[in-house]
Amino acid sequence: MDVAANGLELLDPTAERESGDRPLAAPIDGAAGLRIALLDIRKPRGDVFLDELERLLNARGYVVERTA
C-alpha cells in the first residue's frame, strides 16, 4: 500500500514532543491461526468498537482473545 498516495496518517499515542518518521512493518504472510489480544479498558462504547474490531480480525483469520 502506498501510504503517501492514500493519505494515511498513523498517530503515535506516546508523549513525544516531536514526531519522527517510522517505516511501516512488513505485512504478515497468512494470518490463519495468529493470536491477537484486545484489552477492554471499559471506556463508554468501547465494547462496540472492540466487537467490530474482533469481527474484522476474525474475518481475516486471526484468533482473538479479549480481556479486561
DSSP 27-62: PPS--TT-EEEEE----TTHHHHHHHHHHHHHHTT-
Output the pTM of the full model: 0.57
For residue range 6-59, list pLDDT tens digits in order. Answer: 677 766 667 667 767 778 888 877 777 889 999 999 989 999 999 999 999 999
Query: Please, which pLDDT band fits residue 67 given cuts at 50, 70 and 90?
Result: very high
| Pairwise CA distance, residues 56 & 63, whole Å | 11
Radius of gyration of the chain (CA): 15
For residue 40, count other CB atoms closer than 10 A to its CB. Answer: 12
Q: Roughly how many angstroms between the first and final C-alpha of the chain, as a whole number?
A: 33
